Amino acid sequence: MSHPPPPDGLHHLADNLRQRRELPRRRRRIAALIALVAAALLATVAWPVVRAHLQAAAVLDLVANQPLPALLRPVAHEPVTTRDLTLPTVNGPIRARLYTPTNHPDAPALIVLHGVHHLGMDEPRLIAFASAMAATGLVVLTPELPGIKDYQVSAESVRTIGDAASWLSTQKFSNNLALYPRALLVRWLGMPYRTHSPVGVMGLSFSGGLALLAAADPAYQPSIKFVVAIGSQDEMSRVARYYRTGEDPRPTGPPELLPPHEYGALVLEYEHIEDFVPAADTTPLRAVLRAHLYEDGPAEKAAVAALTPTQLAESRQLLNTTSDTTRALLAAAETKHIEAMAGVSPHNHLARLTTPVYLLHGAGDNISPASETLWMASELPSTTLKSVLISPVLSHINLDGANPTLKDRWSLVHFFALILNAAHQP
């Protein structure tokens, strides 16, 4: 049944009432749309941060040989392909290993440098770490530093690090040829088009200080996106003095007091054996020190058995790094090699560094004391230093700190999340 239209006045009144009812609906729809857009924007911004923290937790679990919780598996599940290769450097060809996420071969790249260890790039902890980082979707290169592998901390390794970064930064292939007409041309000619993409560099132990020196070199700086130094030295002569005294000054406040590990002093003895024993005894004594540092018991026993009585006494003296005689010899060697130590020290090179830097040190590190990171932090420009953490979770570069709290663990996860976020940036 139809109803007659209302009179004109009532008609306008009905329209007004209808519009007033519809206005809150439109406002609610607009508000819902705004909320949806805001949520999408927030998710877009927040997800990379959340993902980086989940990836960091996964990497630390993998390195510690812990099973991954179900929550973390999706962010560190990339299948990884590894291949050994030879890199050209100014110091000659070196071995290297490339860890590539199989589904993303053109992913952003990171170099991870081994510390002073005879296994070099084959050191199991390094392999586990590089594999875990690649599983998050990064291309990881682990070049072998021949000097560092043989317990020689020298400026030669700085150039090797720089050359490795320069090489890796040119290995990125452009997938979007439409944006690069020249790329289209060279691809048509059957040649790969290589773009220059700076890479992150992470140095463990003394390699971290050498990586900072490479980033400070104008020849290598364009190839290095950021540097992470873990358990590294700021001033080598100060670290050498710590091996004798157990004391390392801080930039402010009381000095760091921590009994040094024998390892540091033994590395210095091995590197400069000619400063500690007569020339005729250097070869057999170096063999003893090498076997001791390599933790090769049978080889050390055989090397000791081949010594003369005089050499045997010398070897016992060298292995007793706390004796007054050995400390006096160490002090003399420091003075003799002060210039060479400066050549492997970031100190005096950091104030003008523009490459972003992340510093991490174990609170209980008795090989390179944590005060060294405090010195680096005090010297770096505030715009360059992105994060610094002294963590009780670490000792030197091992996840074996004593009784870390939940907050300590979270701080370490957050630090590595910053690294992963920086590394994944194109």
Question: What domains does the chain contain, in order, with CATH numbers?
Answer: 62-239+341-424 (3.40.50.1820)
Between 313 and 187, where is the model more confident? 313
Residue indicated by tokens 């210039």: 339
Strands 172-173 and 194-195, bridge-based pairing: antiparallel
The pLDDT of residue 114 is above 70? yes
> For residues 419 and 357, what is the distance between their CA atoms, to the nearest angstrom?
10
* CA–CA separation, 180 and 300 (whole Å): 59
Tell me: pLDDT of 62 over 70.
Answer: yes
How would residue 14 be classed by pLDDT, with cut points 50, 70 and 90? Answer: low
Give the model's pLDDT for residue 250: 96
Contact between residue 67 and residue 73 where contact means Cβ atoms under 8 Å apart: no
More confident residue, 178 or 212: 212
Rg over CA atoms, the chain: 29
Tokens of residue 171, six digits: 């290995």
CA distances from 247 to 58, 239, 320, 356 (A): 36, 9, 18, 30
Question: What pLDDT does residue 183 have?
Answer: 40
Determine the pLDDT at residue 87.
95
CB 221 within 8 A of CB 231: no
Q: Which whole number is the average pLDDT over 110-124?
A: 96
What is the average pLDDT across 195-221? 95
Residue 375 to residue 361: CA distance in whole angstroms: 12
Is residue 46's pLDDT more than 80?
A: no
Q: Output the six-digit token pair for 368.
A: 């390179």
| Residue 323: pLDDT over 80 | yes
In 3-state terms the chain splits into helix, strand, coil percentages (rounded to 5) of 50, 15, 35
Confidence band of 396 (pLDDT split at 50, 70, 90): confident
Cα pseudo-dihedral 171, 176, 177, 179, rounded to 10: -110
The candidate with the shortest Cα–Cα distance to 265, out of 250, 287, 249, 246, is: 246
Task: Kindly indicate the confidence band of residue 65, based on its pLDDT and cuts at 50, 70 and 90.
Answer: confident
Distances (CA, A) of 161 to 117, 215, 219, 384: 16, 9, 12, 20
Contact partners, residue 88, CB within 8 Å, separation at least 6: 163, 167
pLDDT > 80? residue 279: yes
The residue written with tokens 């939940």 in the block is: 406
Q: In the predicted model, what is the mean pLDDT of the chain?
A: 88
Count of residues making up the chain: 426
Q: Is residue 195 within 8 Å of residue 172, measured between CB atoms?
A: yes
Predicted local distance difference test score (pLDDT) of residue 47 = 78
Give the pLDDT mean for 267-291.
97
What pLDDT is recorded for position 346? 98
Q: What is the pLDDT of residues 280-297, one digit of tens each?
A: 999 999 999 999 999 999
